[in-house]
């Protein structure tokens, strides 16, 4: 298999960090962050997705990747309502620049998107790729435009929509719940928003599986695919399961009170979709994937986190829980 030159953005984020070691299977990985600082120290590439598009295009051309994996995004959903221009620059304009490079140089572009492109106004059938989009907030609108720009411009693209991403590092819902539980805080969690909690390890492993399969075959079955864990849960269900698994793994020592609440009891600047469950059957069929149930992936993630806690004796909590 040909060794590729892979530009990976968003290495400081939970998904980019999970992808970083796994992508080395395919060649040289060029890890990029906004200021060039890498997790754990060291220097990578400085690539600012909020930069003026011509400057970003120049920087990408200088790196000359044969594969671009764009795991970077503006994910501060509520703050995007106050600074929609910045969200648009990072989530819509930057992917278009990546797509233009990919089209001009025959490169492959892998990009990650979100369930927030849907309005959530149904409650029975999971969302499929062909369902109409209607984002409710600035973040969702910017992510949808990024998708559409890539589909218009780049012949060799793979867009992977996921839902409620979390992992053992970074700022996410899992770590927020655990941090508050370890402090003994009572929890009030929204129970009328339902989605598909998805571990970043699942998305990263699926990405590598797809790449290995397609590169070995000499072709690339591109397009738009949903990639989320099986099953569904409300945020309350998810939080309750986190506490249950964390108790079993010894990450938290004592039970904490948890109360279900309605969305209007947790005021936020951005409206969230009430139904975010994704149907991933197309990706499973096309790429011969088998995605785990969200409870299985959660148990695996908790086990990984428990090992890290035991090794270090520390637990770094997160103060906020941005959406994917």
The closest of 271, 269, 283 to 112, measured between CA atoms, is 283
pLDDT in tens, 241-282: 999 999 999 898 888 999 999 998 888 899 999 999 999 999
Active site residue 139: yes
pLDDT at 313: 58
Taking the C-alpha atoms of residue 111 and residue 114, their distance in angstroms, rounded to an integer, is: 10
Kindly state the average pLDDT of the residues 5-28.
95
Are residues 102 and 68 in contact, defined by beta-carbon separation less than 8 angstroms?
A: yes
A 10 A CB-CB count for 122 gives 14
CB-side neighbour CA atoms (13 Å) of 242? 29
Are residues 32 and 9 in contact, defined by beta-carbon separation less than 8 angstroms?
A: yes
Which H or E run contains 221?
none
Domains of the chain: 4-171+197-231+276-293 (3.40.50.720)
Backbone angles phi, psi at 7, to 5 degrees: -90, 120
A 10 A CB-CB count for 160 gives 20
Q: Is the pLDDT of residue 314 over 70?
A: no
pLDDT at 322: 36
Taking the C-alpha atoms of residue 187 and residue 237, their distance in angstroms, rounded to an integer, is: 12
Annotated catalytic residue, options 74, 101, 139, 225: 139
Are residues 229 and 162 in contact, defined by beta-carbon separation less than 8 angstroms?
A: no
Q: Between 198 and 323, name the one with better pLDDT.
A: 198
pLDDT in tens, 50-95: 999 999 999 999 999 999 999 999 999 999 999 999 999 999 999 9
Cβ neighbours of residue 66 under 8 Å, at least 6 residues apart?
A: 4, 5, 6, 27, 105, 107, 108
Backbone angles phi, psi at 157, to 5 degrees: -135, 155
pLDDT in tens, 127-177: 999 999 999 999 999 999 999 999 999 999 999 999 999 999 888 999 999
Cβ neighbours of residue 245 under 8 Å, at least 6 residues apart?
A: 298, 299, 302
Cβ neighbours of residue 275 under 8 Å, at least 6 residues apart?
A: 118, 120, 121, 122, 123, 127, 193, 194, 195
Structure tokens at 65: 């990747």
pLDDT at 321: 41
Taking the C-alpha atoms of residue 193 and residue 239, their distance in angstroms, rounded to an integer, is: 12
pLDDT at 311: 67
């Amino acid at each position: 298999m040909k060794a590729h030159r892979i530009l990976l953005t968003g290495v400081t984020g939970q998904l980019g960090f999970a992808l970083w070691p796994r992508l080395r299977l395919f060649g040289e990985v060029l890890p990029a962050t906004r200021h060039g600082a890498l997790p754990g120290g060291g220097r990578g590439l400085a690539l600012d997705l909020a930069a003026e598009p011509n400057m970003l295009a120049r920087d990408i051309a200088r790196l000359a990747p044969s594969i671009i994996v764009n795991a970077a995004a503006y994910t501060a959903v509520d703050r995007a309502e106050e600074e929609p221009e910045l969200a648009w620059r990072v989530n819509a304009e930057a992917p278009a620049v990546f797509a233009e490079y990919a089209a001009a140089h025959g490169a492959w572009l892998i990009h990650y998107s979100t369930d927030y492109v849907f309005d959530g106004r149904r409650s029975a059938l999971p969302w499929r790729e062909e369902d109409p989009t209607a984002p409710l907030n600035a973040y969702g609108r910017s992510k949808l435009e990024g998708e559409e720009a890539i589909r218009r411009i780049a012949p060799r693209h793979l867009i992977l929509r996921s839902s409620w991403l979390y992992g053992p590092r970074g700022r996410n819902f899992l770590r927020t719940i655990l941090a508050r539980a370890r402090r003994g805080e009572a929890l009030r969690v929204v129970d009328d928003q339902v989605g598909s909690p998805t571990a970043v390890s699942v998305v990263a492993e699926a990405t590598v599986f797809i790449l290995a399969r397609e590169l070995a075959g000499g072709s690339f079955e591109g397009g738009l695919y949903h990639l989320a864990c099986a099953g569904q849960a409300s945020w309350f269900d998810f939080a309750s399961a986190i506490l249950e698994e964390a108790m079993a793994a010894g990450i938290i020592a004592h039970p904490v009170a948890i109360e279900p609440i309605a969305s209007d009891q947790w005021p936020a600047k951005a409206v969230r979709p009430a139904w975010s469950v994704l149907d991933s059957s197309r990706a499973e069929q096309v790429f011969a994937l088998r995605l785990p149930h969200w409870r299985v992936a959660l148990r695996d993630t908790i086990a990984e986190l428990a090992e890290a806690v035991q090794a270090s004796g520390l637990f770094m909590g997160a103060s906020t829980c941005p959406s994917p």
